[in-house]
Amino acid sequence: MYETSFVFGVDHKLCPVDLRENLAKLAHDDIHQVLKLASVEETTILSTCNRFEIYGQAKCPAIVPMAMSRLLDHYHMPSQSLQQHAYHKVGRTMVEHGFKVAASLESMVVGENQILSQMKEAYSRDKQQGHVKNVLDRYFNTAFKVGKRVRTETAIASDVTSVASAAVKLAKEIHGDLTDKSVLLIGAGQMCQYAADNLKRAGVRHVSVINRSPDRAAELAQLVGAKIYAWCDIEMALENADIVISSTGATQYVVTAQMMHFVMRRRKQKPIFMIDIAVPRDIDPKIHKMDNLYLYDIDHLQNLFTKAQENRTHETEAAYRIVEAEVEGFIDWTQSQRQAALVKEIREHFEQQRQEILKENLSAEEATRKLMNKMLHNPTVYARNLSDLSEGRKKEAMLRKMFALEK
């Protein structure tokens, strides 16, 4: 069971943001459909600003990269880039990888809390839609347990930051005191909520919010005492901002180079620092080439807090020990599931033989002799071969042959 579980994806360590944002644009329904046609039995799609991963259970996991490449071709996206940057982990390495992700050991900022809630959302969505069944259900619930244990049994999350707070830290490094700076938040989702909380703690007094949904913007603005702009007034909002932090769910740029040409003219070229923490990106990367515009995206944040993470080496080692213990526990569970399934299959097989003999209306002696002969025939033929087999799946295959379970 776990041997045919897989994770296929990309993350901030191996893949540029351009490819990650392309993958984030793929319709989840299309992914599930393509993989279902490739005999993938269970799937969960985890898409965040730092990673895009598909967890699954398949008869032949090796077909998954090819199926995803075909899907990218269908979307007219560069499938060759996916092959260069993606990882495809199967079996134990897959189990270990997902548990590390849940523990935030694979995060840009080790110890951050957002990834666990993001995994829970992905699991809940795909389970509700029927894509998560027995194996992935147990797998993700174990991963959530890993994440909780790491956060409660180690100090890995102490003095740690999220991507959103990393953006605020970057703004402080650029501007120093943010008290009198005007900050514009584009978006009102979880990332912008985290950013707003950190801006409030940093003492920022002038915060504005703009979002396509005015109700969501109002909710966020109320939390931090921010000013609200209507979406149609985005150029005005940009004109009045010293710092822009953007994180929406848009699939196309919400801030374009042309828009910023007009904004900067009205600002008389007064500098703006823009931090785009969305994937797909919200802000046209061409803006970075314009005078007095300084644009940072999610990949620029990757090197922040490296020293703080190095200082938590002891806690990280403790977290890895928790992961390893839970990996062993999950593998033990999958093996017990396989054994239980095999025992059930054996019992059903011989019950079928018993029922067939009963239909012949034989005497008790004839019926039991016939049943015994049927039961012992294959074990007798194959028993001598058991000593030549290695452990594991070969022995299981031999056992199936012994009891004529092969279809």
- Burial letters 76-95, b for 16+ CB under 10 A, else e: ebebebbeebbbbbbbeebb
CA 335, 340, 346, 352 dihedral sign is negative
For residues 220 and 325, membership in a common domain is answered with: no
Specify the range with the lowest mean pLDDT, choosing from 112-126, 197-211, 224-238.
Answer: 197-211
pLDDT higher than 90, residue 388: no
For residues 117 and 133, membership in a common domain is answered with: yes
Tell me if 182 sits within 8 A of 242, measured CB to CB: yes
Query: How many domains does one find in the chain?
Result: 2
For the chain, what is the mean pLDDT?
86
Here the CATH number for the domain that contains residue 298 is 3.40.50.720
Residues 335-383: tens digit of each pLDDT: 877 666 677 777 877 788 888 888 888 888 887 888 787 777 777 666 5
Closest listed residue to residue 165, CA positions, set 207, 205, 119, 196:
196
Residues 73-99: tens digit of each pLDDT: 999 888 888 989 999 999 999 999 999
Share of the chain above pLDDT 70, in %: 88
Angle between helices 134-153 and 92-102 (to 10 degrees): 50
Let me know if residue 359 belongs to a domain: no
For residues 147 and 173, membership in a common domain is answered with: no
Closest listed residue to residue 139, CA positions, set 339, 336, 334, 337:
334
Let me know if residue 28 belongs to a domain: yes
For residues 113 and 89, membership in a common domain is answered with: yes
pLDDT higher than 90, residue 313: no
Q: Residue 383 gets which letter from DSSP?
A: G
Here the CATH number for the domain that contains residue 130 is 3.30.460.30
- Helix locations, 75-133, DSSP H: 79-85, 92-102, 114-128
For residues 109 and 243, membership in a common domain is answered with: no
pLDDT at 225: 86
Which of 284, 302, 320 is the last residue in one of the domains? 302
For residues 9 and 147, membership in a common domain is answered with: yes
Paired strand residues for 5: 57
Let me know if residue 183 belongs to a domain: yes
For residues 63 and 180, membership in a common domain is answered with: no
Let me know if residue 384 belongs to a domain: no
For residues 287 and 192, membership in a common domain is answered with: yes
pLDDT higher than 70, residue 398: no
Active site residues: 49
- Burial letters 321-344, b for 16+ CB under 10 A, else e: ebbeebbeebbebbeeeeeeeeee
Let me know if residue 363 belongs to a domain: no
Torsion angles phi and psi, residue 285, rounded to 5: -65, -15
C-alpha–C-alpha distance, residues 58 and 405, integer Å = 22
pTM for the model stands at 0.69
For residues 185 and 331, membership in a common domain is answered with: no
State both tokens at 272: 């703006």
C-alpha–C-alpha distance, residues 105 and 223, integer Å = 31
Residues 10-37: tens digit of each pLDDT: 998 889 888 898 899 999 999 999 999 9
Let me know if residue 346 belongs to a domain: no
| Average pLDDT of the residues in 164-181 | 79
For residues 93 and 152, membership in a common domain is answered with: yes
Let me know if residue 262 belongs to a domain: yes
For residues 75 and 186, membership in a common domain is answered with: no
pLDDT at 62: 94
- Top mean pLDDT of 134-138, 167-171, 379-383 is at 134-138
Confidence of residue 1 (pLDDT cuts 50, 70, 90): low
pLDDT higher than 60, residue 287: yes
Let me know if residue 365 belongs to a domain: no
- Sheet with 5-11, strands from edge to edge, namely 40-47, 51-58, 5-11, 87-90
For residues 150 and 187, membership in a common domain is answered with: no
C-alpha–C-alpha distance, residues 281 and 254, integer Å = 9
Residue with tokens 């799946």: 393
Domain that holds residue 69: 2-159+312-335
